Structure 1
Amino acid sequence: MISFLAYTKSKNELTLLKQTVTDISSVLNDEDLKMYGFSSRDKFEKFLENCPVLDISCVDICGNGGIDYAKKVRSTNKDMSILLIVDLSLSPATYIIPSIMAASLLIRPFDRAAVKNVLDTVLKDYCEYFEQEDGGKSFVVETREGKQLVPYSGIVYFESRNKKIFLGTDNEEYSFYGTLDNLEETLDDRFIRCHRSFIAAKKRISKIVLSKNIVVLDNGCEIPLSRSYKGKVKEAIQI
């Protein structure tokens, strides 16, 4: 599954972006497309409060707050491709910066041909990256809807419940079939087993409360710590 975000204050531009990315992705990749589209500033700001995992974003940075929007989207999606909608009144020095890392630009005024040219390149690059499974930077969740790449850097925990595994990020949960025993064998030392039903990202553990047998994550979530894993967790996590 490819997740695509488009934000522009122009409803016509938004329609054009949606139509173009749908047309191109249907030809390049057989994965489903999950689209998030906004022309309302208020709705977009609300969306950013719990920004999900994104593969590609197109953000209008013209006007007040535009640069901050792009920074926010990037901060919660380190590995995505982001293209910016700009105009000639903006100095490149304001947006060609490490905290945004734009893959490409759409310069106003633009037409359908320009949109197709830019999106075609960005989507082709993404599909090649996707097929290579990004060199181990992301965990691949396979569902009936297709594949979803979730950057390891954004994973908070894995939980086993209801005969499925649930991958938790700060804002979303993805489910797939499997066992934690098998999953544990494939994960590297960025993750640690805390309980028969939980594997946590080490860097997201803020403290261990031995008296309550819980591990507290940096987002406030508490997960159980079983006696059989207590020694291993204490040794691995120096907090």
Structure 2
Amino acid sequence: MIRIAVCEDEQILLEQLTGHIKNILNKHSVIFSIEAYTNGNVLLSRGTFDIVFLDIAMKPLNGLTLAKKLRARGDKSKLIFITAHRQYAIDAYDVQAFHYLVKPVDIKKLETILWQLCSSLTGEYEHTLAIRQGTAVIRIPFGQILYLEAMNRKIHLHKNGEFLPYYGKLDELEPTLPDTFFRCHRSYIVNFDHVQHYKKEEIWLDNEVVLPLSRRRYQAFGLAFMYYLKNRGDVF
């Protein structure tokens, strides 16, 4: 699902833009959710979104300042500015805006931009794992994941230098992962991309972490790892 936020302090314009976005995405059978805000501070208090439409001339927090605050907290949303003044275009690129639209919004142009974004995001999502932390949805590229560990009713996603805990079960997660991941133990799923070597009861990762390898999964692990190496061209 693609999560969208629209922030515009004029209620009528907010309802019009939100309606246009809904019509376009429904036309293209895109699965989405959309939230509308008249105040940028309220938007800031919410979780993350995939696409954010921002009016520039808002009060009390204008769209450019709001965008800078989003970027400062690490937000990677695709930003689209709505403005009545073309001169703001340069400022929009300072916060890595995807595009800007001049009022009154051209519906055909809006449709083109939305379709480009949704196609791009859908492709990106095929190679990421989405996890929920509080109200925020975080997407982690599969290649960055070292391993996943079940602990105290949570899954701990381990990546370089940090781990992200979230509620979930390995039994439910395992079937959704690509075949570069393997359930090496009842409490662990490892990413073959980061396996250096292994023996009967242990797996060494490229960050020197050692994971357990259960005896009953040892043979299946060896076959799956060999298949992975052949597909990558490391063995013949």
Q: What TM-score comes out, normalization by structure 2 length?
A: 0.56
Summarize the alignment of residues 89-168 of structure 1 with structure 2, pairs less than 5 Å apart. 90-97=87-94, 100-108=95-103, 110=104, 114=106, 116-133=107-124, 136=127, 138-139=128-129, 150-152=139-141, 158=148, 160=150
Question: Residue in 2 aligned with 1:72?
Answer: 69
Paired residue secondary structure (2:97): coil
Letter of the structure 2 residue corresponding to residue 44 of structure 1: L
Question: Residue in 2 aligned with 1:235?
Answer: 208
Q: Does 1:178 align with 2:164?
A: no
RMSD: 4.7
Q: Any conservation in 2 of the 1:61–1:70 contact (CA below 8 Å)?
A: no
Q: Any conservation in 2 of the 1:164–1:179 contact (CA below 8 Å)?
A: no
Q: 5+ unaligned residues in a row in structure 1: which ranges?
A: 142-147, 188-192, 201-227
Question: Residue in 2 aligned with 1:62?
Answer: 57
Identity across the alignment (%): 19
Distance 1:27 1:163, change over 3 A: farther
Question: Which structure would you say has the larger RCO, counting Cα contacts within 8 Å and 6 or more residues apart?
Answer: 1
Q: Any conservation in 1 of the 2:40–2:66 contact (CA below 8 Å)?
A: no
Q: 5+ unaligned residues in a row in structure 2: which ranges?
A: 132-136, 192-200, 211-236
Summarize the alignment of residues 5-16 of structure 1 with structure 2, pairs less than 5 Å apart. 5-16=5-16
TM-superposed deviation, 1:103: 2.1
Letter of the structure 2 residue corresponding to residue 196 of structure 1: S
TM-superposed deviation, 1:91: 3.9
Question: Residue in 2 aligned with 1:225?
Answer: none
Distance 1:161 1:123, change over 3 A: farther
Distance 1:186 1:198, change over 3 A: closer
Distance 1:74 1:10, change over 3 A: same
* Alignment: residue pair count: 185
**Residue deviations 1:91-136 (CA, integer Å, cap 9, x gap):** 4332222xx222221223x15xx2x223211221123224534684
